């Protein structure tokens, strides 16, 4: 056919080892059906056909001969608006479409054929019991009758102690029907049905404003801890559903507890689909399918649930919108809140961002009138905010108390135990001791590839690097001098638990941190045990600050509130304010509550204003501090990290990037990153602060493509959350 253009397409193949899309030839007869987003089957290696997914059409002919696409499945994987969203992510966060699709679409779906699991079912044909059945066969029928005349073949075989052959004979005799059915692998969950409560006046006002909002409107729901933000979400969802539209609720992974899911399932039942990292591929696929087909129109999930293919989306809720977990720290480095805003704009959905401590980006947008600010200033049921007491640890030390617990915290713990109430203690550092010194030569023991101090983990008798997970035995000798004894300096959560055991021998203590929750489900088990009252004190890292709603907790202790305050990161104060406010909010959710904040900097605004429950003043001061420096939210940041084994190589590439980016905004650096050496690589970074993010991104893309040094890794982080 003269003049006919041969089309080449890029295909993501469903082969785990395939790290990039492959180019295929589209035979003329398939050309009309091929467009981005369709599923195809293609040959791969020695396999005649594997599933795949077209990401790009009309690409240049490859150097080697391309093999032809075998077949095309009708119907696209994603609705068109979602494709535009994924294209935007690929553009904005400098990731390939392949990487974006991989992040957005559940594994298995890219295969192009749907991995539905089929199972054999047995149904009794009740109207006729044929003559001449054996006693054994009649017994099987009796078991089936007891189970309601219908069950899975495997279950019947087990319970009636029979075999597939016997079932087949029964089917031939016309007593039962055997049929293969698709199995729905929906994760088990509980539903807590709560009677509809009367909204507080503040909740009611917020719900009214959201309901009246126009398509695409964004609301920032700033509600103090315990103000009943979830109930506002539930009502807003109801009203979206009543208009025939679906909703997505994002929560940080860690707060996606069975209790939280139960509240949504209790209100919306089977219409709820749950998406999180703990699902099997099959479960995730089935939940995804229920969403795509419209059977489930309320999606509750962690970060990647923002990609749930809700056909008609009316509402997106981002709970705890300030939470850093919404940012993916690997390519594509997207922020789920930013993606939510983009998606809502593309699909005409409303957005509700909720938090007791909104990010300064969102708060600034609200002050500028881009978001509608809704405030819940009071806790529900007339409960007061907890009383917050700051304890100056410099004073404790000068009075001779060098322990982990101030006198105030010790006596408060005594009172809690006496009263049979519960306490939460926060120390944002896991392990036993963060610094290990040699007693002979005084050297700190550091990670060989990151050069940061190793943390002593007593349970494993190991020294662990918290950056790269390197670990070695906590053997008795020092690397430097071979000296015999080591000294442990500072404290982590494990040491807190140990100290509690000697301080309060009768207290039952649970620990919640990344080490304690390494096993699947252990996070939920610990929280369930604490909720049941199996423990008096819960000790943990920032995990204990997130969304927990335990009515018997009357005391919260923050052991070292300044831990994160001195980090060389412009968000250090904001994070500290959020952490102290959020953990304080766990106290007194059903009665009086008290918070004791131990600090060496009691007058630092992040601590003093968190203690005063004064978000507004903190935000205003912090914004005033950032404006002259041009930090976000006043300008946007693109961070470029250059990492290499040899520092001079990293510096050379960074210098080239700096030259290429000189018109792309205000450049800071290149300088060594605060974490200058991780996993054996020197890290140099460069920040571009800009008012024109699109131009900066375009220039960055160009500059980065020009990095020819294969031994140097260049990571671009658009709107980074951390600059360490
Ligand atoms: P937040 O997320 O704002 O910290 P939650 O949504 O967890 O608060 O609500 C705190 C508690 O208050 C929950 O146990 C919830 O069931 C309850 N609650 C919410 N709204 C009301 C209301 N209008 N009246 C009484 N209790 C409420
Ligand atoms: Zn390390």
Per-residue three-class SS string for 668-684 = EEEEEEEEEEECCEEEE
CATH number at residue 160: 1.10.10
Q: Note the pTM of the prediction, 2 decimals.
A: 0.84
Range 493-496 contact pairs with CB under 8 angstroms and sequence separation of 24 or more? 493/427, 493/429, 493/430, 493/431, 493/539, 493/540, 493/541, 494/430, 494/431, 494/432, 494/457, 494/458, 494/459, 495/404, 495/432, 495/433, 495/458, 496/404, 496/425, 496/427, 496/539, 496/559
Tell me what pLDDT residue 188 has.
55
Q: Which residue has the tokens 């919640």?
A: 512
Report the separation in Å between the CA atom of 231 and the middle of ligand 1, taken as the mean of its atom positions: 6
Distance (Å) of CA 19 to CA 99, 173, 710, 711: 9, 53, 17, 19
Distance (Å) of CA 482 to CA 416, 447, 633: 47, 17, 51
Report the separation in Å between the CA atom of 230 and the middle of ligand 1, taken as the mean of its atom positions: 7
Domain that holds residue 666: 636-718
Q: Which domain-ending residue is among 155, 182, 209?
A: 182
Pocket of ligand 1 (CB under 6 A): 197-200, 203, 223, 225-231, 380-381, 549
Q: Are residues 360 and 265 in the same domain?
A: yes
Using the atom order of ligand 1, give the atom closest to the CA of residue 203: 23
- Enter the tokens of residue 123: 């149904």
Q: Which domain-ending residue is among 624, 647, 671?
A: 624
State the angle between helix axes of 80-92 and 97-104 in degrees (0 to 180), rounded to the nearest 10: 120
**Phi/psi-derived region of residue 573, left when phi > 0, alpha when psi is between -120 and 50, beta in every other case:** alpha
CA-nearest residue for atom 23, ligand 1, is 199
Report the separation in Å between the CA atom of 416 and the middle of ligand 1, taken as the mean of its atom positions: 24
Shortest-distance ligand to the CA of residue 547: 1
Report the separation in Å between the CA atom of 379 and the middle of ligand 1, taken as the mean of its atom positions: 8
Question: CB neighbours of 366 closer than 8 A, spacing ≥ 6?
Answer: 220, 222, 358, 372, 373
Residue 682, CB-side half-sphere exposure with 13 Å CA sphere: 17
Q: Which residue has the tokens 């929750």?
A: 517
Report the separation in Å between the CA atom of 481 and the middle of ligand 2, taken as the mean of its atom positions: 21
Shortest-distance ligand to the CA of residue 383: 1
437 part of a folded domain? no
Report the separation in Å between the CA atom of 339 and the middle of ligand 2, taken as the mean of its atom positions: 32
Is-cis flag, bond preceding 94, omega within 30?
Answer: no
φ and ψ at residue 147, rounded to 5 degrees? -95, 15
Q: Which domain-ending residue is among 348, 382, 416?
A: 382
CA-nearest residue for atom 9, ligand 1, is 228
Tell me what pLDDT residue 3 has.
36
Going by C-alpha positions, the residue among 495, 491, 471, 475 that lies closest to residue 483 is 475
Q: Are residues 240 and 329 in the same domain?
A: yes
447 part of a folded domain? no
How many domains are there within the chain? 5
Shortest-distance ligand to the CA of residue 453: 2
Report the separation in Å between the CA atom of 677 and the middle of ligand 2, taken as the mean of its atom positions: 9
Shortest-distance ligand to the CA of residue 199: 1
Report the separation in Å between the CA atom of 315 and the middle of ligand 1, taken as the mean of its atom positions: 21
470 part of a folded domain? no
Q: Are residues 672 and 544 in the same domain?
A: no
Q: Are residues 124 and 153 in the same domain?
A: yes
Shortest-distance ligand to the CA of residue 317: 1
192 part of a folded domain? no
CATH number at residue 295: 3.40.50.300
User: Residue 51: beta bridge partners?
Assistant: 41
Report the separation in Å between the CA atom of 226 and the middle of ligand 1, taken as the mean of its atom positions: 6
CA-nearest residue for atom 18, ligand 1, is 228
Given ligand 1 and candidates 222, 230, 615, which is best to mutate, with the most ligand atoms within 8 Å of its CB? Answer: 230
597 part of a folded domain? yes
Is-cis flag, bond preceding 253, omega within 30?
Answer: no
Pair 712, 642: CB distance under 8 Å: yes
Q: Are residues 173 and 282 in the same domain?
A: no
Q: Are residues 505 and 650 in the same domain?
A: no
Using the atom order of ligand 1, give the atom closest to the CA of residue 376: 3
Tell me what pLDDT residue 326 has.
96
Q: Are residues 301 and 264 in the same domain?
A: yes
- Enter the tokens of residue 82: 């979602």
Using the atom order of ligand 1, give the atom closest to the CA of residue 225: 4
Given ligand 1 and candidates 202, 225, 231, 357, which is best to mutate, with the most ligand atoms within 8 Å of its CB? Answer: 231
247 part of a folded domain? yes
2 part of a folded domain? no
What are the residue ranges in the chain where pLDDT is below 50? 1-4, 110-115
Q: Are residues 414 and 541 in the same domain?
A: yes
Q: Are residues 160 and 218 in the same domain?
A: no
Distance CA 605, CA 609 (A): 5
Shortest-distance ligand to the CA of residue 255: 1
Shortest-distance ligand to the CA of residue 680: 2
Using the atom order of ligand 1, give the atom closest to the CA of residue 199: 23
Report the separation in Å between the CA atom of 234 and the middle of ligand 1, taken as the mean of its atom positions: 11
Q: Are residues 376 and 406 in the same domain?
A: no
Report the separation in Å between the CA atom of 26 and the middle of ligand 2, taken as the mean of its atom positions: 48
Using the atom order of ligand 1, give the atom closest to the CA of residue 198: 23
Pair 100, 90: CB distance under 8 Å: yes
Report the separation in Å between the CA atom of 229 and the middle of ligand 1, taken as the mean of its atom positions: 7
Using the atom order of ligand 1, give the atom closest to the CA of residue 194: 16
CA-nearest residue for atom 4, ligand 1, is 226
452 part of a folded domain? no
Distance in Å from the first CA to the final CA of the chain:
59
Tell me what pLDDT residue 476 has.
67
Tens digit of pLDDT for each residue in 340-394? Answer: 999 999 999 999 999 999 999 999 999 999 999 999 999 998 899 999 999 999 9
CA-nearest residue for atom 16, ligand 1, is 228
Report the separation in Å between the CA atom of 285 and the middle of ligand 1, taken as the mean of its atom positions: 33
Shortest-distance ligand to the CA of residue 379: 1
Q: Are residues 368 and 391 in the same domain?
A: no
Given ligand 1 and candidates 202, 222, 228, 355, which is best to mutate, with the most ligand atoms within 8 Å of its CB? Answer: 228
CATH number at residue 62: 3.40.1440.60
Query: What is the 3-state composition of the chain as percent helix, strand, coil, each rounded to the nearest 5?
Result: 35, 25, 40
Q: Are residues 496 and 401 in the same domain?
A: yes
Report the separation in Å between the CA atom of 380 and the middle of ligand 1, taken as the mean of its atom positions: 6
């Amino acid at each position: 056919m003269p003049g006919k253009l041969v089309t080449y397409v890029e295909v993501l193949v469903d082969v785990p080892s395939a790290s990039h899309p492959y180019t295929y030839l589209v035979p003329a007869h398939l050309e009309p059906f091929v467009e981005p987003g369709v599923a195809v089957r293609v040959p791969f290696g020695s396999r005649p056909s594997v599933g795949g997914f077209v990401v790009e059409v009309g690409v240049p002919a490859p150097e080697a001969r391309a093999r032809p696409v075998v077949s095309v499945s009708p119907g696209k994987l994603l609705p068109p608006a979602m494709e535009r969203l994924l294209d935007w992510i690929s553009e904005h966060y400098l990731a390939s479409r392949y990487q974006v699709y991989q992040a957005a679409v559940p594994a298995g779906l890219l295969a192009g054929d749907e991995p539905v699991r089929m199972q054999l079912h047995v149904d009794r044909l009740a109207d006729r019991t044929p003559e001449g059945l054996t006693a054994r066969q009649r017994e099987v029928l009796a078991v089936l009758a007891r189970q309601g005349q219908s069950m899975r073949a495997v279950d019947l075989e087990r319970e009636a102690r029979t075999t597939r052959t016997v079932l087949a004979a029964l089917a031939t005799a016309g007593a039962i029907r055997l049929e293969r059915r698709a199995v729905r692998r929906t994760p088990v969950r509980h539903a807590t049905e709560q009677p509809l409560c009367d909204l507080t006046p503040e909740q009611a006002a917020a719900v009214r404003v959201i309901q009246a909002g126009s398509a695409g409107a964004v609301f920032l729901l700033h509600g103090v801890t315990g103000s009943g933000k979830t109930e506002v979400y539930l009502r807003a969802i109801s009203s979206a559903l009543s208009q025939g539209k679906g909703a997505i609720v994002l929560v940080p992974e860690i707060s996606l507890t069975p209790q939280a899911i139960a509240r949504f399932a209790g209100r919306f039942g089977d219409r709820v689909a749950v998406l999180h990292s703990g699902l099997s591929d099959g479960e995730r696929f089935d939940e995804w399918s229920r969403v795509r087909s419209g059977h489930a129109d309320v999606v509750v999930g962690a970060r990647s649930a923002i990609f749930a293919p809700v056909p008609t989306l009316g509402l997106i809720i981002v709970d705890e919108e300030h939470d850093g977990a919404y940012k993916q720290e690997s390519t594509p480095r997207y922020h789920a809140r930013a993606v939510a805003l983009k998606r809502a704009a593309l699909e005409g959905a409303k957005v509700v961002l909720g938090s007791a401590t909104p990010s300064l980006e969102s708060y600034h947008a609200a002050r500028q009138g881009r978001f509608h600010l809704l405030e819940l200033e009071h806790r529900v049921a007339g409960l007061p905010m907890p009383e917050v007491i700051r304890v100056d640890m410099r004073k404790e030390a000068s009075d001779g108390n060098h322990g982990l617990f101030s006198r105030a915290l010790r006596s408060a713990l005594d009172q809690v135990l006496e009263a049979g109430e519960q306490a939460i203690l926060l120390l944002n550092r896991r392990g036993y001791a963060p610094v290990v010194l040699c007693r002979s030569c005084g050297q700190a023991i550091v990670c060989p590839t990151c050069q940061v101090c190793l943390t002593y983990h007593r349970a494993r008798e190991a020294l662990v690097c918290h950056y790269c997970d390197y670990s070695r035995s906590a053997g008795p000798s020092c690397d430097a001098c071979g000296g015999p004894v080591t000294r442990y300096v500072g404290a982590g959560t494990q040491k807190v638990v140990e100290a509690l055991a000697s301080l309060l021998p009768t207290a039952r203590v649970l620990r919640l941190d990344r080490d304690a929750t390494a096993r699947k489900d252990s996070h939920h088990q610990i929280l369930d045990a604490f909720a049941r009252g199996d423990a008096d004190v819960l000790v943990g890292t920032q995990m204990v600050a997130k969304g927990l709603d335990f009515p018997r907790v009357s005391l919260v202790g923050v052991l070292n509130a300044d831990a994160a305050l001195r980090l060389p990161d412009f968000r250090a104060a904001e994070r500290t304010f959020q952490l102290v406010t959020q953990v304080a909010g766990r106290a007194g959710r059903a009665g009086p509550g008290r918070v004791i904040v131990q600090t060496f900097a009691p007058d630092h605004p992040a601590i003093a204003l968190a203690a005063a429950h004064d978000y507004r003043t903190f935000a205003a001061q912090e914004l005033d501090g950032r404006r002259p420096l041009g930090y976000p939210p006043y300008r946007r940041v693109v961070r470029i990290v250059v990492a290499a084994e040899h520092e001079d190589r990293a510096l050379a590439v960074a210098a080239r990037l700096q030259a290429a980016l000189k018109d792309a905004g205000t450049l800071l650096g290149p300088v060594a990153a605060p974490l200058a050496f991780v996993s054996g690589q020197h890290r140099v970074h460069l920040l571009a602060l800009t008012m024109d993010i699109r131009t900066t991104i375009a220039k960055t893309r160009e500059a980065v493509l020009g990095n020819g040094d294969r031994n140097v890794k260049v990571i671009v982080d658009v709107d980074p959350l951390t600059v360490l």
